[in-house]
Structure 1
Amino acid sequence: MSAALPPSVGPTGLTARALLLGRNLDLKRLDAFDSLATNPLLVQVSGGGRAVLLRSGAVVLFDVDPQAEVAFLAYLRPFVREPLDSPELEQLSISIDPGRTEGLEHDRLVMTDTDTARLQVIADILGKSVLLAHQESRVALAFDRIEPLADQLRRFGRGAGNARILIRHIGESLAIQQEMVGRGEVGDKPEIIWERPDLERLFLNLEAEYEIRERQLALERKLSLINDTANTLLNLLQSKRSLRVEWYIVILIVVEIVLTLYELFIVDHPAP
């Protein structure tokens, strides 16, 4: 996903914008903000609007005008590890109507109010969505790199000749899993749900709308396949090298026997 139009704000609505800025966001070093809520961290943005900051590297902005957004993201940049050249983006239009039932209607979320707990739930889902979008791109690239190795194994009966390449594939898939489960907490409910069980319906509706669990399971299946392929090729390579070492040992033993026999029968017993 790439940059989109600036948020539009109406008299009874606002727009939430989620951006994945990098690999993770160091929240412990962010001490310049007075938090409005924690777990996840919600802060006031200078110039108007609010923002939720997530460890996964995602930032979700609510009712923040374009100029304030640019300044806010510039301030956060030093605290972002491995920033992305083009941040992932997800956008959601929100209508505020106390007289209506909360829920999604035609790609728009209807809410009764914008209290901090509701914003935290929305930010949790949008943050997971942009994280999954980034990981889906990484897994697609990993598939493109591992596919020729699997095809080589199928056609010629041999895999890659470089163990370092295969170990990198395994490391990449493990890193993606760690970022999803560890920092992103994809598949887990936000802590605010345990304090506000009345918001669980909102959470479940958004989780279903953005297909969070389905996308997570699809990624896990693909990562498992990449891991299995890389491990299989690595085992074949190690077996091949072990067999080669065994042959070297056999050759050395034969040479040693020949030299011993030469010394016994030729050197010690020269011909008369």
Structure 2
Amino acid sequence: MQQTDLISSKESTGTAEKKELIILSNGTVIGWNFGEQQLLEVAPRLSSALDEQYAYESDEFDFIELEQLPPNPKSNGNSYMINDIILIQNVTEEKKILDKVAFSIGMSRSTRVSILEDNLEQFLKITRRNSDRLSKGLPVTASEHDVLQLTGKLFLLRGKLNLYNELIDTPDLYWSEPTLEKIYQQISTSLDINWRISILNRKLDYATDEQRAFLSFLNERKGTRLEWTIIILILIEVGFETYRFWQDTRPGSSSE
């Protein structure tokens, strides 16, 4: 598990509340007919099982759960989204639960991307200080170690987005379940997941180029310092040799 996300869904009908809690292996908690405050009371009990701790991210959606299938040939009796409202309908309770899980996994992508977006914004705030100093003609105070450390964090962030989880791929489970895959794609499209991932990758590209520029600048500055050090050492050596030559050639000096 990598983070805890809270997603609450409130039924928009006047029926009796049936609360359902779904906990995903990636650390996301989805409550159907739960409020955000209720989920915040549940989350601390799960945090001890998490490998990494992040600030909570939460989203809230409205849904309608129908007890009977309406005559709607377009949906073929399956759950779907209309605008930003989730409509849960199916023949059996088991299929309704599978539909809710598909919606939940799709919704979890939004909060997980939000966590990465927040992490990148915090990262950019740090690197912006160096850019501001350069734009004002001031020396950069960051060391090579600092820049390398930030670059490592940047690579880790890019890995979390593109390599270490299923944010950019459809879960293997849904490849053989066209109905559930459609639900997963609907909620992902509604939340602009692919667009947000694309924007995040562009920002990561910029941040990577920026760190490379800083590292090149620091290496050049380090190289210049080494060159001046060598020049000064040569001048000192020349000074000693000149002094010794003067000592040997001045009147009254003893020579071999």
Work out whether the TM-score is over 0.5. Answer: yes
Cα separation, 1, equivalents of 2:64 and 2:23: 19
Amino acid aligned to 1:103: Y
Aligned to 2:20: 49
Secondary structure of the residue aligned to 1:59 is strand
Q: In the superposition, relative to structure 1, how do residues 238 and 268 fare at CA in structure 2: closer, same or farther (>3 Å)?
A: same
What residue is the counterpart of 1:111 in the other structure?
88
What CA distance in whole angstroms lies between the structure 2 residues aligned with 1:52 and 1:72?
11
Q: Retained in 2: the 8 A contact 1:121–1:190?
A: no
Q: Do 1:120 and 1:192's aligned partners in 2 also have CA atoms closer than 8 Å?
A: no
- The answer for the alignment partner of 2:251 in structure 1 is 271
TM-superposed CA distance for 1:220, in Å, is: 1.0
Structure scoring higher RCO (CA < 8 A, sep ≥ 6) equals 1
Deviation, 1:237, is 1.4
Instruction: For residue 157 of structure 1, report the CA deviation from its aligned partner.
Output: 7.2
Query: Gaps spanning 5+ residues in structure 2: where?
Result: none
Q: Which has the larger radius of gyration?
A: 2
Structure 1 portions without partners, runs of 5+: 16-47
- CA shift, 1:243, in A, is 0.8
Shift of 1:186: 1.4
Distance 2:230 2:22 in 1: 66
Which residue, 168, 189, 213 being the options, matches 1:232?
213
1:147 aligns with: 128
Larger deviation, residues 240-249 vs 133-142: 133-142
> 1:175, CA displacement in angstroms?
2.6
Describe the shift of the 1:151–1:60 C-alpha distance in structure 2 as closer, same or farther (beyond 3 A).
same
Contact 1:131 1:184 in 2 (8 A): no
Question: Measured at CA, do residues 66 and 267 of structure 1 come closer, stay the same or move farther in structure 2, by a change above 3 Å?
Answer: closer
Cα distance change of structure 1 residues 95 and 8 upon mapping to structure 2, 3 Å threshold: closer
Check whether the contact 2:154–2:204 (CA below 8 A) recurs between aligned residues: yes
Quote how far apart the aligned CAs of 1:12 are. Answer: 6.8
Cα RMSD for the two superposed structures: 3.3
Structure 2 equivalent of residue 213 of structure 1 = 194
Sequence identity of aligned pairs in percent?
A: 17
Following the alignment from structure 2 to structure 1, what is the Cα–Cα distance between the partners of residues 37 and 135? 55
Deviations 1:13-48 (A, max 9, x none): 979xxxxxxxxxxxxxxxxxxxxxxxxxxxxxxxx6
State how far apart, in whole Å, the 2-side matches of 1:182 and 1:59 are.
Answer: 22
Superposition map of 1:181-260 within 5 A:
181-260=162-241
Q: Are 2:102 and 1:133 aligned? A: no
SS in 2 for 1:92: strand
Write the deviation string for residues 186-222 of structure 1: whole angstroms up to 9, x where unpaired: 1110122113123222222111100000000111111
TM-score (norm 2): 0.76
Q: Secondary structure of the residue that 2:104 maps to in structure 1?
A: helix
d(CA) in 1 for partners of 2:193, 2:7: 22
Aligned to 1:79: 49
